[in-house]
Structures are given as structure tokens and as C-alpha cells.
């Protein structure tokens, strides 16, 4: 199955680049139907345009959270999005948005990558918080999104070490390399085998 995804970015879009590369290399059977950003200056949008992808950039400034989300949902309607793929999208999504992607199986078709081993080090600074805590092993989590921040059924986790002479920069660089391998792999597994193949527990996490 060729997965139709909308990729959401707020920043430099290195995960978007990794996903595009995997598609172009034939390792990921997916099509990016739209790249969405809340930051019209995000470098990720430049990456998208360079690859001829459709972009939808809408600043959240001056809009309520609900108004902003509604305009994005409206734009995505009709594009046949199978999964929303959050790749450094630094906005918390409310249930108004999530419900637009509610699956009959009882989950939201929204995936996130987080730069720590959840449930540790939630929030916007996963690398910095794990490094400052002094962890010897950290990792990356890819998970389905629910109404709680950095929470929802885990699809994959991959660990990486913090080495004795690491700085935050070298630690983060090691983690990003893991992200760029893991996210396309997870999406390929969904495209090839379905979302259930990645879950240890049944999908009944959506509150009604």
C-alpha cells in the first residue's frame, strides 16, 4: 500500500528530509501529499519546495488554537491523508484536530517522533533535558498521538548511548542520526504491514 502522509514541521525539517530521501530511494512506499507548518519561515518548507511538494504554511499568531487547527484540517480535507506525521511540529494538537483523524479502530491517525525514551523527558527539550539529567542511555520514540502531550501508544523506540566526552551537540547529533533512520523505517512498516503490526497493546486509547 502506498501511504499518503501529511508531514508537519516547525523548524529545519531534517526528519522531513530523511522521509523524502527514503521515498526517493524506494525504501518507503509513501507519498507526501502536503507539508504543513505553523512557521512560514521554517527551513523545512524550503526543503519541501525544493522537492516540488505542496506546502501549507499558516502562522498560528493572531489565531486561537482551534481556529488555526480548523484551517489546517480544512486544507487537508480531500487530500486523502492516511496519517499525519509530526516531524518537529512544536504545537500541541487539541482533540478538535485529532478527531478529524480518528480511525474506526479507535486511535488517531497522527504520529509523532520524540527525542527521548518516553515516558521520560517529555516536552520541547528532550535532548537537553536528558543530557542535563545525566542519562547514560537515551533514545528516540515514535508514537501515536493522543490528547496528552508526548503520550500515546508506542510504535518504536531505539536507544543510543551518551558517551563520556559528549557535549550536548554531539549527543544531539547522535540522536538525530537515529531519528533519521527510525522514522522512515516505522512509516515503511506501517505502509507494508499496517499500524497494528507495530503495537504491543490493542488500540483502544481514544477517549470519546
Q: How far is the CB of 9 from ligand GAR (least distance, A)?
A: 6
Q: Residue 87 or 188: which CB sits closer to ligand GAR?
A: 87
Q: How far is the CB of 8 from ligand GAR (least distance, A)?
A: 10
Which lies closer to ligand GAR via its Cβ, residue 33 or residue 112? 112
* CA count, 13 A, side-chain hemisphere, 92: 12
Report DSSP letters for the chain, one per residue. Answer: --EEEEEEESS--HHHHHHHHHHHTTSS-EEEEEEEES-TT-HHHHHHHHTT--EEE---TTS-HHHHHHHHHHHHTTS--SEEEESS--S---HHHHHTTB-TTSSBSEEEEESS-TTSS-STTHHHHHHHHT-SEEEEEEEE--SSTT-S-EEEEEEEEPPTT--HHHHHHHHHHHHHHHHHHHHHHHHHH-GGGG-SS-S-----
**Least distance (Å) from ligand GAR to the CB of residue 78?**
27
Active-site position among 68, 114, 143, 180: 114
Q: Shortest gap between Cβ of 200 and ligand GAR (angstroms)?
A: 22
Q: Which is nearer to ligand GAR, 8 or 107 (CB)?
A: 8
Is 114 marked active-site? yes
Whose CB is nearest to ligand GAR?
88
Q: Which is nearer to ligand GAR, 14 or 76 (CB)?
A: 14
Contact residues for ligand GAR (CB under 6 A)? 9, 11-15, 44, 87-88, 113-115, 124, 126, 150, 179
Q: Would you name the residues annotated as active-site residues?
A: 114
Amino acid at each position: 500500500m502506498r501511504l499518503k502522509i501529511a508531514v508537519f514541521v516547525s523548524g529545519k525539517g531534517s526528519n522531513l528530509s530523511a522521509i523524502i530521501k527514503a521515498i526517493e530511494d524506494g525504501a518507503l512506499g509513501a507519498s507526501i501529499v502536503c507539508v504543513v507548518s505553523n512557521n512560514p519561515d521554517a527551513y523545512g518548507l524550503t526543503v519541501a519546495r525544493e522537492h516540488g511538494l505542496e506546502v501549507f504554511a499558516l502562522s498560528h499568531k493572531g489565531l486561537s488554537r482551534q481556529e488555526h487547527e480548523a484551517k489546517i484540517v480544512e486544507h487537508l480535507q480531500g487530500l486523502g491523508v492516511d496519517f499525519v506525521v509530526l516531524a518537529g511540529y512544536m504545537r500541541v494538537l487539541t482533540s478538535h484536530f485529532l478527531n478529524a483523524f480518528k480511525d474506526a479502530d479507535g486511535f488517531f491517525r497522527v504520529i509523532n517522533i520524540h527525542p527521548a525514551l518516553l515516558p521520560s523527558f517529555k516536552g520541547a527539550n528532550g535532548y537537553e533535558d536528558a543530557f542535563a539529567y545525566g542519562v547514560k542511555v537515551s533514545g528516540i520514540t515514535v508514537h501515536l498521538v493522543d490528547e496528552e502531550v508526548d503520550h500515546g501508544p508506542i510504535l518504536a523506540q531505539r536507544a543510543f548511548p551518551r558517551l563520556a566526552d559528549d557535549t550536548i551537540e554531539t549527543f544531539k547529533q547522535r540522536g538525530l542520526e537515529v531519528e533519521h533512520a527510525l522514522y522512515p523505517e516505522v512509516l515503511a512498516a506501517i505502509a507494508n504491514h499496517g499500524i497494528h503490526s507495530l503495537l504491543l497493546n490493542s488500540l483502544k486509547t481514544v477517549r470519546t
